[in-house]
């Protein structure tokens, strides 16, 4: 039987499908932080919904001081923490964050029916002393990965070094902090920004929504 969630419950579960999230940042204006429509919960309802999900074993919440938390009072304190994701600016301590448990992930999947084969994970770094950046893209569907590579080069205005392209297969693949897939293809390559030569003025970045849709194409 498909699980039943309120809109607020589903929003809170989906918000941490890819990464944990700081509870203190949940009541920020969606225009400030979220690239999607907000949860629509009042401050009181937000605390009650988080506690309900926590008590049901669908999410966990923890911080560096207390470890895992489990009470409504601790949730309330977490909501009062500095409203930023990552490390708090004043006490230098990691804020209380929440994430999906194994059961929470399973129930979210039963409701959302995501296409994990199309899920794309990417990232880059800049090797010291190199004029090329190194990009890494991982996807269980090799064709989808190739399409992403071509669109990446086109829309980012970058030139990939064909000699540097490396394909391999990862098995198993830890797609997110809670979801493991049987395996996935990985493509790594060096690239150089073509705008350095062709256009001294950088193009304005695309809307955040574009990146959001790319990263969540598997929904």
**How many Å apart are CA 114 and CA 108, to the nearest integer?**
9
**How many Å apart are CA 73 and CA 93, to the nearest integer?**
19
Q: Going residue by residue through the chain, which has 219 residues, state the pLDDT in tens, using 9 for 90 and above.
A: 566 889 999 999 999 999 999 998 887 644 445 556 778 888 899 999 999 999 999 999 999 888 999 999 999 999 988 765 443 333 456 789 999 999 999 999 998 889 999 899 988 777 677 666 778 889 999 998 888 877 766 665 666 666 777 899 999 999 999 999 999 999 888 766 655 555 545 444 444 344 444 444 444
Of 206, 195, 191, the closest CA to residue 127 belongs to 191
Element (H, E) at 189: strand 184-193
- Most distant pair of Cα atoms in the chain: their distance: 58
pLDDT of the residue at 9: 94
pLDDT of the residue at 206: 46
């Amino acid at each position: 039987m498909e699980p039943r969630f309120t809109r607020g419950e589903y929003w809170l579960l989906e918000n941490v499908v890819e990464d944990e999230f700081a509870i203190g940042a949940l009541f920020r204006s969606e225009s400030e932080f979220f690239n999607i429509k907000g949860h629509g919960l009042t401050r009181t309802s937000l605390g009650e919904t988080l506690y309900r999900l926590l008590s049901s074993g669908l999410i966990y919440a923890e911080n560096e001081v207390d470890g895992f938390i489990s009470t409504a009072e601790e949730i309330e304190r977490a909501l009062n923490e500095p409203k930023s994701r990552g490390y708090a600016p004043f006490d230098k301590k990691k804020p209380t964050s929440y994430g999906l448990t194994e059961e929470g992930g399973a129930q979210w999947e039963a409701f959302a029916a995501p296409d994990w084969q199309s899920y794309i994970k990417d990232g880059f770094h800049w090797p010291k002393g190199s004029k090329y950046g190194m990009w890494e893209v991982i996807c269980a569907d090799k064709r989808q990965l190739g399409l992403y590579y071509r669109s990446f080069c086109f829309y980012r205005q970058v030139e990939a070094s064909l000699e540097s392209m490396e394909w391999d297969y990862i098995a198993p693949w830890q797609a997110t902090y809670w979801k493991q897939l049987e395996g996935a293809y990985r493509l790594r390559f060096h690239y150089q920004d073509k705008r350095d030569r062709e256009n001294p003025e950088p193009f304005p970045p695309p809307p955040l929504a574009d990146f959001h849709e790319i990263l969540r194409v598997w929904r």
